[in-house]
Amino acid sequence: MPHHLLDTPIEYLKGVGPQRGELLKKELSIFTYSDLLYYYPFRYIDRTQFYKISSLKPELPMVQVLGRVVSKEIIGEKQKKRLVALLKDDTGLLELVWFQGIKWIDSLLQPGLVFIVFGKPSSFNGKLSMSHPELELYDPENKKPGNLALQPVYGSTEKLKQYSLDSKGIQRLTANLLQVVLSHVPETLPDYILQQYRLISKRLALQHIHFPSDVNLMHAAQQRIKFEELFFIQLKLLRNKTVLTRKYKGLIFGQVGDKFNTFYNERLPFELTGAQKRVIKEIRQDTQRGVQMNRLLQGDVGSGKTAVALMCMLLAIDNGFQACMMAPTEILAQQHYLSLEKLLGDNLATIALLTGSTPKKQRKIIHAELENGNINILIGTHALIEDTVKFNNLGLVVIDEQHRFGVEQRAKLWTKNHVPPHILVMTATPIPRTLAMTLYGDLDVSVIDELPVGRKPIKTIHLYESQRLRMFGFMREEIAKGRQVYIVYPLIKESEKLDLLHLEAGIEAISQEFPLPQYRISIVHGKLSASDKEAEMQRFARGETQIMVATTVIEVGVNVPNASVMIIENAERFGLSQLHQLRGRVGRGAEQSYCILMSGSKLSKDARIRLDTMVRTNNGFEISEIDMQLRGPGDIEGTRQSGVLDLKLADLVTDQAILQTARDCVIRIFDEDPDLSSEKNRLLWQYFNQREHGLVWNKIS
Ligand code: ADP
Ligand code: MG
């Protein structure tokens, strides 16, 4: 039985043992040697040199400064009490600040003494300072050997610290580990790639990511490891795509026929935007190549994705195929059905709707008509995926609002035809480019980055609670013009009770301000039954009520063009993408639309950035970039299954360039060598073919 050194349980490492082993598993999910090997420092301490005070910048890591204390002073009262000292070297003065342990520091810091001060420079009101730096009395005789390199800092926990596994403790374990395993770690990237991209070897990288001997090697190690992480995600994604497109021939939509042309020339009630035309052209090209299309269509709410989808479905029908369109909820499926039916008019195509609530009898008819090919277009929810749904000749699948569908569900649709149908995935949640490359790296991406002409950009304002009367006044004006208004309240699991109270109080206040019979209000929240919810939505959609008070249950994509005002209560509690989604409910008609963000006066820094961003821009892509910067990619919808979260070092916000390089590299590899069968790609071939214990580089025999 071969022994895989890196799979050795962590307790066998020198310095660990059963008790600490348990803790490492529990606290940091470190089970094996390899887990510890890939547990990277999150920061380094630069003790290679003394920095001059004049050269300090907030961008530096933790650094050390040598200087004399020239003054100290305790200022403020109680909570705000702090000790401020000034440190001087031959280039300038640096402010040192402590908020805690003041008594102890006060006794230590005597003016006139020279200290090695060690901490992170930061800038406050344009002035450089260090808060809570470490202090060491300078002793010219004492040259500690350990202080002469970049020191790694590892994340630890209170529990681990009790067992001497603070950062220093983990550092000691890592040093032991490297001694045992480093010479056994195999290279994972082919030599020619290392050379081409000037990457250091795997062993060198692991050595210097943990114990960099200088700043250059630290950067080189980071570069190599980040590249590798992003490279293998792309390799997996594009490998699937390469394999599948080689295995299956794609259906060919060779001609633009009558239905497409009739629709375009006679039925389409508007001129397509340039972006819509471009996307249709891209899809046309995709569907004639004899390769299955897997395309992601990104476009902000209201950019006209549905029209594009419809024209592609007509293209399928013109070529003798059926098409289907899948939406995440019943109400959306229904809306699509109605609007497509209207656009198509009579006799262009036969269209049917299939959802969970389609009566059995009708369902049977639909099943039969699908199988014999009488239905051209089927609209529906998840119900479409069920095995009982069989098509005669399915050529195109359109999936709306992709983020609610898993990859597996997508794959299931492939089996609905003997040759997999073309797949067009549409999403109204723009996601940052890097995330798109990682989440949907196996899809080609089209973007509609242009709104239909004449559409007025939504005006967004931010009002504080104290300005509520202005908001009511504005609502009255808009309703007097015949418009409708949404008011949305947050409903968040953790504070659901409180939220419901807010909602009730809100409804109460609105009902008083907008009394019957002049005003009518719809109310929709999660406690209502599905059918009540639906009925209320329909009332609003038909214009029977002027105000819709709702929690965030109002559906993505619901279309009420006459609604021109979106008011978001407690807007500071919503995430950016959610705010943007909500705002997208209005601005769907020809009228000027508005979004009013209501908030309290106390705002966190992030909340302020979110609200300011919303006021400043309507651009979903820009908003998504900022959202990712604020929250990190992990919180963005759809990332959970994607491998993004397995990234240990690479960062989709800051490492765009490396991602692009890695992706380009992988694309070139598959262009040249789709089977990875050439000798120079042997390591990559092995990555897919010799995996026994997780990833191949964990396997050492
Ligand atoms: P999305 O699904 O991208 O949010 P829709 O396809 O629902 O957007 O389109 C929103 C509205 O804009 C619909 O009422 C649609 O008829 C209209 N529309 C789409 N394309 C155009 C266009 N090129 N010119 C004018 N109106 C358009
Ligand atoms: Mg839509």
Contact between 491 and 500 under an 8 Å Cβ cutoff? The reply is: yes
Question: Does ligand 1 come within 6 angstroms of the Cβ of 155?
Answer: no
Q: Are residues 610 and 530 in the same domain?
A: yes
pLDDT at 502 over 80: yes
Residue 139 has what pLDDT? 77
Q: Are residues 362 and 234 in the same domain?
A: no
Q: Is residue 253 part of a domain?
A: no
> Which of the listed residues 147, 172, 200 is the one where a domain comes to its end?
147
- Using the mean position of ligand 1's atoms as its centre, give its distance from the Cα of residue 412 in Å: 29
Indicate which atom in ligand 1 lies nearest the CA of residue 273.
Answer: 23
Query: Cβ contacts of residue 393 below 8 Å, gap of 6+?
Result: 320, 321, 322, 373, 417
Question: Does ligand 1 come within 6 angstroms of the Cβ of 416?
Answer: no
pLDDT at 472 over 90: yes
Residue 300 has what pLDDT? 83
> Which of the listed residues 127, 147, 167 is the one where a domain comes to its end?
147
pLDDT at 408 over 80: no
**Selected residue with higher pLDDT from 32 and 689:** 32
Triad 622, 624, 625: Cα angle to 5°: 65
Q: Whose CA is nearest to atom 19 of ligand 1?
A: 304
Q: Are residues 124 and 174 in the same domain?
A: no
Range of the domain at 74: 48-147
Residue 397 has what pLDDT? 94
Q: Are residues 200 and 298 in the same domain?
A: no
Question: Does ligand 1 come within 6 angstroms of the Cβ of 279?
Answer: no
Residue 396 in 3-state DSSP? strand
pLDDT digits (tens, 9 = 90+) for 645-656: 678 898 887 888
Question: Does ligand 1 come within 6 angstroms of the Cβ of 589?
Answer: no
Indicate which atom in ligand 1 lies nearest the CA of residue 304.
Answer: 6
- Using the mean position of ligand 2's atoms as its centre, give its distance from the Cα of residue 95 in Å: 56
From 537, 610, 612, 551, select the one nearest 582 (Cα to Cα).
551
Q: Is residue 630 part of a domain?
A: no
Q: Are residues 469 and 567 in the same domain?
A: yes
**Selected residue with higher pLDDT from 635 and 264:** 264
Residue 148 has what pLDDT? 53
- Using the mean position of ligand 2's atoms as its centre, give its distance from the Cα of residue 206 in Å: 47
From 520, 579, 527, select the one nearest 547 (Cα to Cα).
520
Average pLDDT over residues 574-580: 89
Ligand nearest to the CA of 342: 1
Please, what is the average pLDDT of the chain?
Answer: 87
From 282, 304, 601, 574, select the one nearest 426 (Cα to Cα).
304
Q: Are residues 235 and 262 in the same domain?
A: no
pLDDT at 1 over 50: no
CATH number at residue 130: 2.40.50.140
pLDDT digits (tens, 9 = 90+) for 268-299: 999 999 999 999 999 999 999 888 898 989 88
Q: Are residues 205 and 180 in the same domain?
A: no
From 336, 39, 321, 333, select the one nearest 174 (Cα to Cα).
39
Question: Does ligand 1 come within 6 angstroms of the Cβ of 299?
Answer: yes
> Which of the listed residues 590, 617, 644 is the one where a domain comes to its end?
617
Q: Is residue 629 part of a domain?
A: no
Query: Over pLDDT 90: what percentage of the chain?
Result: 55
Q: How many CB atoms lie within 10 A of CB 426?
A: 22
Question: Does ligand 1 come within 6 angstroms of the Cβ of 270?
Answer: yes
Question: Does ligand 1 come within 6 angstroms of the Cβ of 303?
Answer: yes
Which residue among 588, 591, 593 is best mutated to probe the pocket of ligand 1, counting the most ligand atoms within 8 A of its Cβ? 588
Q: Are residues 319 and 433 in the same domain?
A: yes
Q: Whose CA is nearest to atom 24 of ligand 1?
A: 452
CATH number at residue 32: 1.10.150
Q: Whose CA is nearest to atom 14 of ligand 1?
A: 588
CATH number at residue 394: 3.40.50.300
Ligand nearest to the CA of 584: 1
Q: Is residue 496 part of a domain?
A: yes
Residue 92 in 3-state DSSP? strand
Q: Are residues 435 and 539 in the same domain?
A: no
Question: Does ligand 1 come within 6 angstroms of the Cβ of 10?
Answer: no
Q: Is residue 432 part of a domain?
A: yes
pLDDT at 628 over 70: yes
Rounded to an integer, what distance in angstroms lies between the CA atom of residue 380 and that of residue 65? 66
pLDDT at 210 over 90: yes
Residue 588 has what pLDDT? 80
Span of 300-304, 499-503, 692-696 with lowest mean pLDDT? 692-696
Start-to-end CA span in the chain (Å): 9
Residue 473 has what pLDDT? 95
Q: Whose CA is nearest to atom 23 of ligand 1?
A: 272
- Using the mean position of ligand 2's atoms as its centre, give its distance from the Cα of residue 219 in Å: 45
**Selected residue with higher pLDDT from 414 and 181:** 181
Indicate which atom in ligand 1 lies nearest the CA of residue 301.
Answer: 4
Question: Does ligand 1 come within 6 angstroms of the Cβ of 276?
Answer: yes
Q: Is residue 650 part of a domain?
A: no
**Selected residue with higher pLDDT from 551 and 433:** 551
If pLDDT is split at 50, 70 and 90, which confidence band does 146 have? Answer: very low
Question: Does ligand 1 come within 6 angstroms of the Cβ of 586?
Answer: no
If pLDDT is split at 50, 70 and 90, which confidence band does 330 have? Answer: confident
Average pLDDT over residues 404-433: 77
Query: Cβ contacts of residue 105 below 8 Å, gap of 6+?
Result: 83, 98, 135
Query: Over pLDDT 70: what percentage of the chain?
Result: 92
pLDDT at 596 over 90: yes
If pLDDT is split at 50, 70 and 90, which confidence band does 558 have? Answer: low
Measured CA to CA in angstroms, residue 518 lies from 283, 471, 478, 512 at distances of 50, 18, 14, 12
Pairing of strands 127-131, 294-299: unpaired
Q: Are residues 65 and 121 in the same domain?
A: yes
Average pLDDT over residues 120-147: 76
Indicate which atom in ligand 1 lies nearest the CA of residue 584.
Answer: 4
Residue 701 has what pLDDT? 31
Average pLDDT over residues 610-617: 95
Q: Is residue 701 part of a domain?
A: yes
Q: Whose CA is nearest to atom 17 of ligand 1?
A: 304
Q: Are residues 442 and 348 in the same domain?
A: yes
Q: Is residue 403 part of a domain?
A: yes
Residue 642 has what pLDDT? 52
Which residue among 270, 332, 343, 458 is best mutated to probe the pocket of ligand 1, counting the most ligand atoms within 8 A of its Cβ? 270
pLDDT digits (tens, 9 = 90+) for 513-547: 999 999 999 998 877 887 888 888 889 989 999 99
Ligand nearest to the CA of 303: 1
If pLDDT is split at 50, 70 and 90, which confidence band does 57 have? Answer: confident
Question: Does ligand 1 come within 6 angstroms of the Cβ of 430?
Answer: no
The total of structural domains in the chain comes to 5
Average pLDDT over residues 327-348: 87
Q: Are residues 178 and 190 in the same domain?
A: no
**Selected residue with higher pLDDT from 640 and 155:** 155
pLDDT digits (tens, 9 = 90+) for 77-133: 877 789 999 999 999 999 999 988 888 899 989 999 999 898 988 887 778 899 999
